[in-house]
Structure 1
Amino acid sequence: MHQINTSKSVNVAILTISDTRDQAADRSGQAIQALLQNHEHVLIDYKIVKDEYTMIQHEIETWEQNETIQAIILNGGTGFSPRDVTYEAVSQLLDKQMDGFGELFRMLSYEEIGPRALFSRAVAGSKGATAIYALPGSTNAVKLAMEKLILPTIGHFADELVKK
């Protein structure tokens, strides 16, 4: 059986996508930070950018070039409103998409919020040697994704992306 590394410390950058939040009001970004730190992962950088396609892509590309950053977790902008462009910005950059991430996230969300889970366009995958996750902006959604999907597998994902 293939073992999943749940103990490896991973260096992470967090990007909150919001036209209105600042760091004091960013409960989802704060929740991601707290959960990462509780599991002994290292926060390398944290930023908030507006829901603008080019701004989102610029931050991802900049962080992907930083060899100390192994994973990027985005939150916000994954819905269907005209301003929600995170899914498009992220999916266009991925070398490989982790299809099961979005599927499992929506399944777990369905158990909590019912059919409204259909409106989530959460996505994950890799660009180069960097794991990338894009989550909804809801604090409950962030906690669900972190606790059930990301934290149990992020060490393994980072290991898989290391050039051997």
Structure 2
Amino acid sequence: MSQEVLQRPLNIAVLTVSDTRTKETDKGGNKVQELLEEANHNVVARKIVIDDFNEIRNALIPWCNDESIDVIITTGGTGIALRDVTIEAVDSIIEKSIPGFGEIFRYLSYTEDIGTKAIASRALAGVNSNTLIFSIPGSVGAVTLGLNKLIIPEMPHLVREINK
């Protein structure tokens, strides 16, 4: 792909995983959309699903098959509680993992935000076909950190790499 493609706004789908959130109370998902739009990217799809392996997969797979979607960002369900199954669902569709994302996210969370509680975060990133997927915790702090420090700066480069 040419440098020209890297300059275009990316098309992003946002999935919130929660048993309790609604569009009005989804502070993490709303923050994702706000930060992406401030960075001149397009949120082209947004959905809230319950903490259920199949519900999560059923939301993600059509987005991965939609050639107009460059990136998927999931929020919520990344902890270690019994109901937290986002990582298992996302990992089941990832063809190539990007382990550095989770490692750096936890490091930044530890040093800049929540201290040792960062060890319980299972943030992850990977690729399904030509779609980049990031899974981050749903708190506004985690969303802000993840998007501003890692996702927004690296998305254009990573999208270019998976589309070579």
TM-score clears 0.5: yes
TM-score range, shorter chain: over 0.9
Contact between 2:16 and 2:47, CA under 8 Å: does it hold in 1? yes
The residue type equivalent to 1:159 in the other structure is R
Q: How does 1:119-130 map to 2 (within 5 A)?
A: 119-130=120-131
Please give the per-residue CA displacement for 1:75-98, whole angstroms capped at 9, x wherever unaligned: 000001110000100111100000
Q: Classify the secondary structure of the residue corresponding to 1:24.
A: coil
Count of residue correspondences: 160
CA distance in 1, matches of 2:129, 2:6: 21
CA distance in 2 between partners of 1:43 and 1:87 (Å): 22
Distance in 1 (alpha carbons) for counterparts of 2:114 and 2:15: 25
Mind listing any 5+ residue stretches in structure 2 that lack a counterpart?
A: none
Match of 2:68 in 1: 68
- RMSD of aligned residue pairs (Cα, Å): 1.4
2: CA distance, partners of 1:151 / 1:78: 20
Determine if contact 2:6/2:160 at 8 Å carries over to the other structure: no
**1:15-164 to 2 correspondences below 5 Å:** 15-111=15-111, 112-162=113-163, 164=164
Runs ≥4 residues deviating over 3 A: 5-8
Using the TM superposition, give the Cα deviation of residue 8 of structure 1 relative to its aligned residue in structure 2, in angstroms: 3.8
- The percent identity for this pair of structures is 43
Gaps of 5+ in 1: none
* 147 and 67 in structure 1: CA distance in 2 versus 1, 3 angstrom threshold: same
Q: Give the structure-1-normalised TM-score.
A: 0.94
* 2:78–2:84 Cα contact (<8 Å) kept: yes
* AA matched with 1:54: N
CA drift of 1:158 comes to 1.1
